[in-house]
């Protein structure tokens, strides 16, 4: 297993030169409950909208969010959307933008209408000119890009076929990069892989790869064979085929094939996941990691990205938790103070529109009954916070001799569980104050409680949340375990 912490520290020393098609991604979220009387079309009751920098701009944002530095070059029109993009990019930490203006084309904009309840994309509206840049604009792009090559540790071309990466622009960049000994990664759109000749790595998805190789690309064996032919045509070192829920397959010119399955995750939105993969690959390879490490880091980054709404970025800490979910240090990061870190997480999760769950207990000796409740609770939400009684609180509730384990040990065991996202220790006899702070969408307890007995049910239900009771496993209790361990009767 590679040392992720050492690798992540190396990210901050890498500069990626990213070139590609810039676009504005807008997401309109709402609910559909009726059909329009004017036409057989659903009516979405819009509730909120979000805008993000998308396309190659999202690759740049992910490079920065993972801790790297990015020099970004793209094309915008002289319009309101272009101005907004330029201002937003200029404010992004870690990104140095070098934008070329083309008054003859609109800045690409995509608006997606999404069912909030089902997280389903219903319709997309595009404003774009999907035509190659003019010869004059091509030259201005080349002149803007090449002076920055010496400063880059690696070059990344993000092709969305919106006009930036013409055959001429691609050729100039790859040839200049090779002359300087720079690796080049290409996320291709063209089925003619020969235009990317000389790149180090191509990263098509399975549909793009099948179109380029005229194969079905329906098995690792088929992909490996077709990739070898494609690598000879494109004169590249490796091809990575992204297969969504089926994982990723990396084929090397040497003949080696490496496949990693997709990590289990609740998929919320696949928009921009390929951007995250490209960013993670660029930083990992720039840090001189081997091919398998780069593949596994990119796979984990994609798993984080698809668990978020919209065109999302992945932070280095999120990537670490996905790669090292059971490491003790990762567990320690989940243990938060009721103020401070907890508030930071709550603000971030609410901003993302995530469903927050809460449960609580002493968890003195963790047993299968606890695990069942925690697993069920995590299945009902996007992020689960566990309120843990402090040592003093447990002693008041359970009497002398309890807890058996101190709060630090109990918190660390809980935090090591994949179902648990945060552990917050509280001093009071009940978690009522903590629940009021968290304001969870779902409050979970074992089925040995009634709804009315669940502390905080009034707060949660008044805010539109729900109380969920999970059937307990008979024969499992901490009290009986302690009794047996101490030689008493269970």
pLDDT by residue (tens digit) across 138-150?
999 999 999 999 9
Which residue in 21, 275, 382, 421 is the catalytic one? 275
The predicted model gives 369-376 an average pLDDT of 88
HSE, side-chain direction, 13 A CA sphere, residue 287: 27
Q: Give the chain's end-to-end CA distance (angstroms, integer).
A: 43
pLDDT by residue (tens digit) across 36-95?
999 998 899 999 998 989 999 999 999 999 999 999 999 999 999 999 999 999 999 999
Q: Say what the pLDDT of residue 332 is.
A: 62
* Overall pTM surpassing 0.75 (yes/no): no
At residue 475 the predicted structure's pLDDT band, cuts being 50, 70 and 90, is low
Helix (H) or strand (E) holding 425: strand 422-426
Q: Say what the pLDDT of residue 376 is.
A: 87
The predicted model gives 334-343 an average pLDDT of 79
CATH code linked to domain 4-323: 3.40.1190.20
Reading the block at residue 326, the tokens are 């059971």
Please tell me the distance from the alpha carbon of residue 460 to that of residue 325, in angstroms, as a whole number.
29
Residue 67 three-state SS: coil
Please tell me the distance from the alpha carbon of residue 316 to that of residue 63, in angstroms, as a whole number.
10
Domain ranges of the chain: 4-323, 328-485
For the cut 80, the answer to whether the pLDDT of residue 482 exceeds it is no
Outline where DSSP puts E strands in 188-272: 201-202, 238-242, 248-252, 257-260
Q: How far is CA 188 from the centre of its chain?
A: 21
The predicted model gives 13-25 an average pLDDT of 96
Phi, psi of 307 (to 5 degrees): -85, 0
3 is catalytic: no
Please tell me the distance from the alpha carbon of residue 269 to that of residue 161, in angstroms, as a whole number.
22
The predicted model gives 335-345 an average pLDDT of 80
The vertex-103 CA angle with 102 and 105, nearest 5°, equals 75
Please tell me the distance from the alpha carbon of residue 48 to that of residue 381, in angstroms, as a whole number.
20
Give the CA radius of gyration of the chain.
26
Q: Say what the pLDDT of residue 328 is.
A: 43
Residue 418 CB coordination number (10 Å): 12
At residue 236 the predicted structure's pLDDT band, cuts being 50, 70 and 90, is very high
Give yes or no for a contact between 251 and 227, defined as CB atoms under 8 angstroms apart: yes
What is the percent of the chain where pLDDT is above 70?
93
For the cut 80, the answer to whether the pLDDT of residue 257 exceeds it is yes
Helix (H) or strand (E) holding 466: strand 466-470
Is there a cis peptide before residue 403, judged by omega within 30 degrees of 0?
yes
The highest-level CATH class for domain 328-485 is alpha beta
Nearest Cα to 260, choosing from 251, 269, 270? 251
The predicted model gives 6-26 an average pLDDT of 94
At residue 1 the predicted structure's pLDDT band, cuts being 50, 70 and 90, is very low
The predicted model gives 175-204 an average pLDDT of 97
The predicted model gives 362-385 an average pLDDT of 88
The predicted model gives 412-440 an average pLDDT of 92
Q: Say what the pLDDT of residue 170 is.
A: 98
For the cut 80, the answer to whether the pLDDT of residue 246 exceeds it is yes
- For the ranges 115-129, 197-211, 253-267, the lowest mean pLDDT is seen at 115-129
Please tell me the distance from the alpha carbon of residue 426 to that of residue 356, in angstroms, as a whole number.
18
Q: Beta strands 15-20 and 69-76: pairing type?
A: parallel
- For the ranges 63-72, 99-108, 377-386, 470-479, the lowest mean pLDDT is seen at 470-479
At residue 486 the predicted structure's pLDDT band, cuts being 50, 70 and 90, is low
For the cut 80, the answer to whether the pLDDT of residue 337 exceeds it is no
- For the ranges 29-33, 301-305, 484-488, the lowest mean pLDDT is seen at 484-488
List of residues 6+ apart from 355 with CB closer than 8 A: 380, 381, 382, 383, 441, 442
Nearest Cα to 161, choosing from 56, 270, 313, 25? 56
Mean of pLDDT over the chain: 89
């Amino acid at each position: 297993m590679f040392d992720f912490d050492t690798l992540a520290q190396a990210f901050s020393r890498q500069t990626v030169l990213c070139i590609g098609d810039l676009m504005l991604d807008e997401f309109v979220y709402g609910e559909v409950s009726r059909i329009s009387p004017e036409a057989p079309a659903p009516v979405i009751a819009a509730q909120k909208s979000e805008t993000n920098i998308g396309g190659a701009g999202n690759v740049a944002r992910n490079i920065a969010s993972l801790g790297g530095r990015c020099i970004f070059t793209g094309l915008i029109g002289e319009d309101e959307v272009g101005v907004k993009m330029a201002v937003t990019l200029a404010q992004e930490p870690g990104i140095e933008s070098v934008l070329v203006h083309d008054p003859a084309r609109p800045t690409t904009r995509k608006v997606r209408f999404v069912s909030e309840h089902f997280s389903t994309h219903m319709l997309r509206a595009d404003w774009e000119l999907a035509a190659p840049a003019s010869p004059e604009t091509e030259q201005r792009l080349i002149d803007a890009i090449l002076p920055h090559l010496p400063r880059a540790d690696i070059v990344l071309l993000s092709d969305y076929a919106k006009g930036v990466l013409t055959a001429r622009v691609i050729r100039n960049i790859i040839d200049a990069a090779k002359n300087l000994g720079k690796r080049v990664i290409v996320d291709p759109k063209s089925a003619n892989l020969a235009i990317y000749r000389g790149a180090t790595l191509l990263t098509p998805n399975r549909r793009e790869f099948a179109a380029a190789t005229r194969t079905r690309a329906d098995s690792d064996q088929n992909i490996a064979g077709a990739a070898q032919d494609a690598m000879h045509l494109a004169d590249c070192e490796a091809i990575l085929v992204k297969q969504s829920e089926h994982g990723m397959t990396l084929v090397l010119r040497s003949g080696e094939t490496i496949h990693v399955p997709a990590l289990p995750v609740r998929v919320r939105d696949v928009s921009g996941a390929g951007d995250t993969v490209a960013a993670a690959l660029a930083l990992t390879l720039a840090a001189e990691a081997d091919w398998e490490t780069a593949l596994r880091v990119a796979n984990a980054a994609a798993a984080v990205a698809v668990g978020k709404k919209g065109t999302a970025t992945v932070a280095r800490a999120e990537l670490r938790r996905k790669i090292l979910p059971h490491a003790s240090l990762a567990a320690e990061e989940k243990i938060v103070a009721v103020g401070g870190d907890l508030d930071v997480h709550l603000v971030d999760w609410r901003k993302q529109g995530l469903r927050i769950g809460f449960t609580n207990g002493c968890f003195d000796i963790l047993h299968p009954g606890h695990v069942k409740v925690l697993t069920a609770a995590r299945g009902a939400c996007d992020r689960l916070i566990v309120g843990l009684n402090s040592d003093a609180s447990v002693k008041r509730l359970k009497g002398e001799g309890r807890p058996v384990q101190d709060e630090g040990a109990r918190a660390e065991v809980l935090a090591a569980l994949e179902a648990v996202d945060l552990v917050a220790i509280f001093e009071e006899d009940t978690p009522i104050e903590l629940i009021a702070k968290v304001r969870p969408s779902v409050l979970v307890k074992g089925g040995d409680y009634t709804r009315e007995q669940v502390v905080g049910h009034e707060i949660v239900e008044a805010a539109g949340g729900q109380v969920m009771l999970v059937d307990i496993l008979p024969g499992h209790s901490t009290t009986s375990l302690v009794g047996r361990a101490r030689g008493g009767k269970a």
